[in-house]
């Protein structure tokens, strides 16, 4: 039962352009969402989060958008850099629970 879905396993973007990574969820109780970045052989690194009371959160080159009615969030990276090449996971949690539910990840490649 995959409650958080990342339907694009991979994405390639030219350096300097915008990268848009998408994530959908099914549980309407989710109220906190996060994006993690993961390099091979390392643990996930926290990037940015958003609570359900907001629809946008920005941190430098990274912006997360939340569309609660569509149960959809996205991560925008602009401008994309080769060092951004990694696997990106979105995660969600509900205030009533302890678990974080992770998507299966999107592998981003930024082409120099």
Partner 1 sequence: NAGVMQNPRHLVRRRGQEARLRCSPMKGHSHVYWYRQLPEEGLKFMVYLQKENIIDESGMPKERFSAEFPKEGPSILRIQQVVRGDSAAYFCASSALRDGGETQYFGPGTRLLVL
Q: Which of 66, 103, 108, 110 binds partner 1 (CB under 8 A)?
A: 103
Q: Measured from the CB atom, is 73 or 91 closer to partner 1? A: 91
Rounded-to-10 torsion of CA 102, 107, 108, 112: 150
Angstrom distances, CA of residue 38 to CA of 8, 32, 46, 86: 16, 20, 9, 6
Number of residues that bind partner 1 (CB under 8 A): 29
Q: Is 34 in the site for partner 1 (CB under 8 A)?
A: yes
Query: Do the Cβ atoms of 102 and 89 come closer than 8 Å?
Result: yes
Q: Is 98 in the site for partner 1 (CB under 8 A)?
A: yes
Q: Which residues would be at the binding site for partner 1 (CB under 8 A)?
A: 4, 6, 31-32, 34, 36, 41-46, 49-51, 53, 57, 89, 91, 93, 97-105
């Amino acid at each position: 039962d995959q409650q958080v879905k990342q339907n694009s396993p991979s994405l390639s973007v030219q350096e300097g352009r915008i990268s848009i990574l998408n994530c959908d969820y099914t549980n309407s109780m989710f109220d906190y969402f996060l994006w993690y970045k993961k390099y091979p052989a390392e643990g996930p690194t926290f990037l940015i989060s958003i609570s359900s009371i907001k629809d946008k959160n920005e941190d430098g080159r990274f912006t997360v958008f939340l569309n609660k009615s569509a149960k959809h969030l996205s991560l925008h990276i602009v401008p994309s850099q080769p060092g951004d090449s990694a696997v990106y996971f979105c995660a969600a949690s509900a205030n009533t629970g302890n678990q974080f539910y992770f998507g299966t990840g999107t592998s981003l490649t930024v082409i120099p």
